[in-house]
């Protein structure tokens, strides 16, 4: 299993800046609109302070008060309109950026080489693809516009307090330092705590996925108690991780709530004293206190988002972490192969940096031949099959078709050369046509012909023909039909070589004959490399390659190898013994 990493802070910061830069114009527009809205919002308390001073000095006329009231109304309307435009620009930016995050996730997952995709924890990947993506998307959509609005308001309100009275401004800012200390304390602890919470959530999902996918094994070996115990332990770890973030929040929020009130109280006290001594007007004290009171709302919004950003920041780190896994390297050569011959030269392969499971294999596959690969379990047959089909590339040595490394071929060109046929017959949610043209775009006439080649008569009876929806809410195909569908894809791809691995090994006997017939039709006029699980396949092949402990130990016709009396001859004798009447069938 390859654990999925989380990105470091620097990588997350760079990725976030990159996302912002991709939509620079929206970000600039958002900041400008927010600044204008905040400026308009400042006018209210300012004008109110003027009115208070004028009334206190006994020089206020009714028309002056009316004019000031009208100005306050106009400023409020302007603030609402500007704030709304800022918000809608922000939401549009957020939705576009969220779509980018989703696309990036898909690109990365689809870019995993098959060897990586098969070995990453499915539960963790599913959590990253669903809750992490949607946490980041929601935050991108809502957080930036709302934080910008709030930050703009807070900044302008503070500037306004300084404008009214620098002394009261200093007092206000000093008294806010309590909130700054609480925030610093929280930010030091929150990122790791949220990463741990989400990792524990993913581990729990993995635990449940493993139990569900292995339900048969759990039942047969009576592992229910053990799985329950490990499930409970995973729940306990997730619970503890959540309690840790909850504890941080229960300290942080009350602390900052209290610290909003302190500046207002201090300004009223000091301002009141200054006013009684005649050093400050009542209007200035009232305006400063009103401004500081106004500060609570934007600061509260920022802090709520700060908390939300910790959790979605951890989600973002988990999504960006996927970028550190190896991707399918871009094809080094798009040069079309100069022939159909497949050559393996000194090929070595190791899984996940472990020991070599292929230890220098040399093999030439002759165009048009039927080559069976046999050997004990774990000898490296399937691994060789994957290298021959270009699914994986050798760690050292080369696997080429027509002189070009197979794994370097772009998918479209690769499919025309070699295709690996396995037990896996995935039916994608979509129409029958979509399922078929995965292999190659083709007119309907050709799609029907491919279905006919593999004997998929059931297709003609589907309600909407090629437009019939398969999987999910649509028509669900049984195993044999799914197998025929995947063989029809092979017919459409039309490769000159097929690698068969377990293609017929575990067939349901009731369906075996139909599938065998379909397979036989597909094999015609192609080179076939069959990873043989039954030695009958080897007996019927043109040549047999015998693998043992990662090496090719024998190569020749069945008769030659039996006559040579080596490994194959021993395997054949054992198997033949087993297949005499009353014996078992598999090698
Ligand atoms: P065969 O097909 O002859 O049974 P394989 O090619 O499947 O042999 O396996 C060769 C060796 O590689 C075995 O030791 C097996 O345990 C190891 N191996 C196969 N697949 C993986 C994998 N996905 N991850 C790690 N090791 C693997």
Lowest mean pLDDT among 37-46, 97-106, 311-320, 410-419: 37-46
381 within ligand 1 shell (Cβ under 6 A) = yes
Whether the pLDDT of residue 45 is over 80: the answer is no
Residues 390 and 399: their CA atoms lie apart, in Å, by 8
Strands 396-401 and 497-501: unpaired
Task: Identify whether the C-beta of residue 339 lies closer than 8 Å to the C-beta of residue 124.
Answer: no
Q: Choose which residue among 2, 349, 351 to substitute to test ligand 1 binding: the one with the highest number of ligand atoms within 8 A of its C-beta.
A: 351
385 within ligand 1 shell (Cβ under 6 A) = no
Return the H-helix or E-strand segment holding 433.
Answer: helix 432-437
Overall pTM surpassing 0.85 (yes/no): no
Task: Identify whether the C-beta of residue 292 lies closer than 8 Å to the C-beta of residue 172.
Answer: yes
CA of 70 to the centre of ligand 1 (A): 80
**Which of 44-53, 244-253, 426-435 is predicted most confidently?**
244-253
Nearest residue (CA) to ligand 1, atom 12: 357
Whether the pLDDT of residue 509 is over 50: the answer is yes
* 433-475 pLDDT, tens digit each: 988 887 667 899 999 999 998 888 889 888 889 999 988 778 8
**Which of 43-52, 107-116, 212-221, 548-557 is predicted most confidently?**
548-557
Residues 315 and 47: their CA atoms lie apart, in Å, by 45
Percent residues over pLDDT 90 in the chain = 34
Residues 360 and 351: their CA atoms lie apart, in Å, by 15
Supply the DSSP string of 132-157, one letter for each residue: IHHHHHHHHHHHHHHHHHHHHHHHHH
Task: Identify whether the C-beta of residue 531 lies closer than 8 Å to the C-beta of residue 386.
Answer: no
Mean per-residue pLDDT for 366-372?
Answer: 93
Task: Identify whether the C-beta of residue 43 lies closer than 8 Å to the C-beta of residue 71.
Answer: yes
Residues 58 and 66: their CA atoms lie apart, in Å, by 16
Length of the chain: 587
At 131, list the tokens: 């809750």
CA of 512 to the centre of ligand 1 (A): 27
Radius of gyration for the alpha carbons in the chain, expressed in angstroms and rounded: 35
Nearest residue (CA) to ligand 1, atom 22: 351
Q: What are phi and psi of 338, to 5 degrees?
A: -90, 40
357 within ligand 1 shell (Cβ under 6 A) = yes
Per-residue confidence at 294, pLDDT binned at 50, 70, 90?
confident
Measured from the Cα of 383, ligand 1's closest atom is: 6
Whether the pLDDT of residue 134 is over 80: the answer is yes
Q: What pLDDT shows up at residue 586?
A: 41
CA of 493 to the centre of ligand 1 (A): 28
378 within ligand 1 shell (Cβ under 6 A) = yes
Q: What are phi and psi of 342, to 5 degrees?
A: -100, 130
Q: What pLDDT shows up at residue 440?
A: 67
Handedness of CA 475, 476, 480, 486 (dihedral sign): positive
550 within ligand 1 shell (Cβ under 6 A) = no
Task: Identify whether the C-beta of residue 554 lies closer than 8 Å to the C-beta of residue 566.
Answer: yes
Q: Taking Cα atoms as reference points, which of 362, 358, 331 lies closest to residue 346?
A: 362
CA of 123 to the centre of ligand 1 (A): 23
Q: What pLDDT shows up at residue 585?
A: 39
505 within ligand 1 shell (Cβ under 6 A) = no
Residues 120 and 108: their CA atoms lie apart, in Å, by 13
Task: Identify whether the C-beta of residue 168 lies closer than 8 Å to the C-beta of residue 293.
Answer: no
Q: What are phi and psi of 168, to 5 degrees?
A: -65, -35
Nearest residue (CA) to ligand 1, atom 19: 383
Domains parsed from the chain with CATH numbers: 9-324 (1.20.1560.10), 342-577 (3.40.50.300)
Nearest residue (CA) to ligand 1, atom 1: 378
Q: Choose which residue among 352, 383, 420 to substitute to test ligand 1 binding: the one with the highest number of ligand atoms within 8 A of its C-beta.
A: 383
Per-residue confidence at 341, pLDDT binned at 50, 70, 90?
very high
Residue 358's DSSP bridge partners are 349
Whether the pLDDT of residue 22 is over 70: the answer is yes
Q: What pLDDT shows up at residue 49?
A: 79
* 154-202 pLDDT, tens digit each: 888 888 889 889 999 999 888 888 888 999 999 999 989 999 998 999 8
**Which of 101-110, 339-348, 466-475 is predicted most confidently?**
339-348
CA of 534 to the centre of ligand 1 (A): 19
């Amino acid at each position: 299993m390859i654990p999925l990493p989380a990105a470091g802070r620097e990588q997350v910061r760079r990725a976030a800046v990159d996302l912002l830069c991709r939509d620079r114009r929206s970000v600039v527009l958002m900041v400008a609109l927010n600044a204008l809205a905040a400026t308009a919002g400042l006018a209210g308390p300012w004008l109110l302070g003027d009115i208070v001073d004028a009334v206190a000095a006994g020089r206020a006329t009714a028309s002056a008060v009316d004019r000031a009231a009208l100005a306050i109304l106009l400023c409020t309307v302007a603030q609402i309109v500007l704030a709304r435009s800022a918000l809608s620009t922000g939401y549009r930016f957020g939705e576009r950026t969220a779509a980018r995050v989703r696309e990036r996730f898909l690109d990365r997952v689809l870019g995993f080489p098959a060897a990586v995709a098969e070995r990453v924890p499915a539960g963790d990947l599913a959590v990253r693809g669903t809750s992490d993506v949607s946490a980041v998307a929601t935050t991108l959509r809502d957080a930036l516009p709302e934080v910008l609005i709030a930050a703009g308001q807070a900044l302008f309100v503070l500037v306004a307090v300084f404008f009214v009275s620098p002394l009261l401004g200093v007092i206000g800012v000093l008294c806010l330092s309590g909130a700054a200390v609480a925030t610093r304390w929280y930010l030091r602890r929150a990122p790791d705590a949220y990463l741990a919470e989400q990792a524990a959530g993913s581990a729990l999902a993995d635990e449940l996925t493993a139990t569900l996918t292995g339900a048969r094994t759990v039942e047969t070996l009576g592992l229910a108690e053990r799985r329950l115990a490990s499930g409970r332990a995973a729940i306990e770890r997730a619970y503890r991780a959540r309690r840790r973030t909850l504890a941080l929040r229960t300290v942080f929020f009350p602390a900052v709530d209290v610290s909003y009130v302190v500046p207002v109280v201090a300004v009223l006290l000091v301002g009141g004293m200054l006013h009684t001594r005649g050093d400050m007007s009542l209007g200035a004290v009232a305006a400063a206190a009103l401004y500081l009171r106004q500060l609570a709302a934007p600061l509260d919004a920022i802090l709520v988002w700060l908390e939300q950003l910790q959790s979605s920041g951890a989600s973002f780190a988990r999504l960006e972490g996927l970028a550190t896994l190896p991707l399918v390297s871009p094809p080094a050569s798009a040069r079309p192969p100069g022939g159909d011959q497949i050559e393996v030269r000194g090929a070595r392969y190791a899984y996940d940096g472990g020991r070599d499971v292929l230890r220098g294999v040399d093999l030439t596959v002759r165009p048009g031949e039927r080559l069976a690969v046999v050997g004990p379990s774990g000898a490296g047959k399937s691994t060789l099959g994957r290298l021959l089909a270009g699914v994986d590339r050798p760690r050292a040595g080369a696997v080429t078709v027509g002189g070009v490394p197979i794994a370097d071929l772009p998918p479209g060109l690769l499919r025309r050369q070699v295709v690996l046929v396995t037990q896996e017959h995935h039916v994608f949610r979509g129409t029958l046509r979509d399922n078929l043209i995965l292999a190659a775009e083709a007119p309907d006439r050709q799609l029907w012909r491919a279905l006919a080649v593999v004997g998929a008569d059931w297709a003609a009876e589907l309600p909407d023909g090629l437009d019939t929806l398969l999987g999910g809410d649509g028509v669900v195909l049984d195993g044999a039909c799914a197998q025929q569908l995947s063989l029809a894809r092979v017919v459409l791809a039309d490769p000159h070589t097929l690698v068969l691995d377990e293609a017929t090994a575990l067939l349901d006997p009731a369906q075996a004959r139909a599938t065998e017939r379909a397979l036989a039709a597909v094999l015609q006029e192609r080179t076939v490399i069959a990873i043989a699980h039954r030695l009958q396949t080897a007996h019927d092949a043109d040549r047999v390659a015998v693998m043992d402990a990662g090496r090719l130990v024998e190569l020749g016709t069945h008769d030659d190898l039996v006559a040579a009396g080596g490994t194959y001859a021993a395997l054949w004798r054992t198997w033949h013994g087993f297949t005499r009447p009353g014996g078992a069938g598999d090698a």
